Amino acid sequence: SQQGEEDPQALSIQEGENATMNCSYKTSINNLQWYRQNSGRGLVHLILIRSNEREKHSGRLRVTLDTSKKSSSLLITASRAADTASYFCATDARKTSYDKVIFGPGTSLSVIP
Amino acid sequence: GAVVSQHPSWVICKSGTSVKIECRSLDFQATTMFWYRQFPKQSLMLMATSNEGSKATYEQGVEKDKFLINHASLTLSTLTVTSAHPEDSSFYICSAPRNTEAFFGQGTRLTVV
């Protein structure tokens, strides 16, 4: 089962531009995480934002969380060709400390040099 | 951060044989681990929740006799794909939670020929 939806499904931008990806989810959460996956490789954890946080920064990444709308956004500023990858949001339902993490369908980002 | 090790990173097997994938939490104990499957250009789909000392919980549509899960210790969960067929070819990835954060293995690419 999938908890969330992401849009856009695919995004193509020029190097140097900003990329914004959105994620929506259905149930209450403990936290939301964003991951990057290069083609055919494992997941790289980018950032975690907790349900009581509204915004978080990490380098060129900015994540927002709106629990009232059950949505999150990932902004990558000054994109680079190396940012080309698939990006997934993942949420854990607010039940126990160790509830399962569910992934959204992902956004495929292409950064053109 | 916590480390989860998955082995092997890739495996090719003949149709009809069984393949075992291991997931280890290296520096923490995990009473629960999760197994995901990812088909090309798709998101990660949760297959099952592995519970230490008890039976795994399978998601709807996942055959428990096909995908055997054993969580015999607090640091090791195994997924065995039994009587593998070409349609089982996929990327399998495990995760272990700690303090409400999810830590992922590197993934295993299974190719059944």
B101, B107 contact by CB (below 8 A)? no
B24, B9 contact by CB (below 8 A)? no
- Please, what is the average pLDDT of chain B? 93
Q: What amino acid is encoded at A87 in this protein?
A: Y
Query: Which pLDDT does position A96 carry in this prediction?
Result: 54
Residue A95: which pLDDT band, with cuts at 50, 70 and 90? low
Give yes or no for residue A3 having a pLDDT over 80.
no
Query: Which pLDDT does position A1 carry in this prediction?
Result: 44
Q: Measure the CA–CA gap between A6 and B21, rounded to whole angstroms.
A: 30
- To the nearest whole Å, the CA of A112 is away from the closest chain B CA by 19
Give yes or no for residue A11 having a pLDDT over 70.
yes
- Please, what is the average pLDDT of chain A? 89
- Beta-carbon separation of A42 and B1 below 8 A: no
User: What backbone phi and psi angles, to 5 degrees, belong to B88?
Assistant: -85, -10
By CB atoms closer than 10 A (0-12, 13-18, 19+), residue B41 is: exposed
User: What backbone phi and psi angles, to 5 degrees, belong to A92?
Assistant: -115, 130
- What residues contact residue A95 under an 8 Å CB cut-off, 6+ apart? none
Task: Classify the C-alpha dihedral A11-A80-B1-A43 as positive or negative.
Answer: positive
Q: What are the tokens at A110?
A: 């292409």
> For chain B, what percentages of helix, strand and coil (3-state, to nearest 5) are there?
5, 55, 40
Please name the residue of chain B whose CA is at the shortest distance from the CA of residue A96.
B100
- Beta-carbon separation of B60 and A1 below 8 A: yes
- Beta-carbon separation of A33 and B101 below 8 A: yes
Residue A98: which pLDDT band, with cuts at 50, 70 and 90? low
Query: Which pLDDT does position B1 carry in this prediction?
Result: 63
Query: Which pLDDT does position A7 carry in this prediction?
Result: 76
Please name the residue of chain A whose CA is at the shortest distance from the CA of residue B95.
A101
B78, B23 contact by CB (below 8 A)? yes
Rg (CA), chain B: 13
Lowest mean pLDDT of A39-53, B15-29, B61-75, name the range: A39-53
- What residues contact residue A31 under an 8 Å CB cut-off, 6+ apart? A48, A49, A50, A51, A91, A92, B100, B101
- Contacts A105 to B, Cβ<8 Å: 42-43
Using a CB–CB cut-off of 8 Å, the residues of A that contact B are: 1-2, 30-31, 33, 35, 40-43, 45, 48, 88, 90, 92, 97-98, 100-106, 108
- To the nearest whole Å, the CA of A33 is away from the closest chain B CA by 9
Residues 39-98 of B with CB under 8 A from A: 41-46, 49, 59-60, 91, 93, 95, 97
Q: Measure the CA–CA gap between B108 and B90, rounded to whole angstroms.
A: 8
- Contacts B104 to A, Cβ<8 Å: 35, 42-43, 45
Q: What are the tokens at A80?
A: 């680079």
More confident residue, B99 or B58: B58
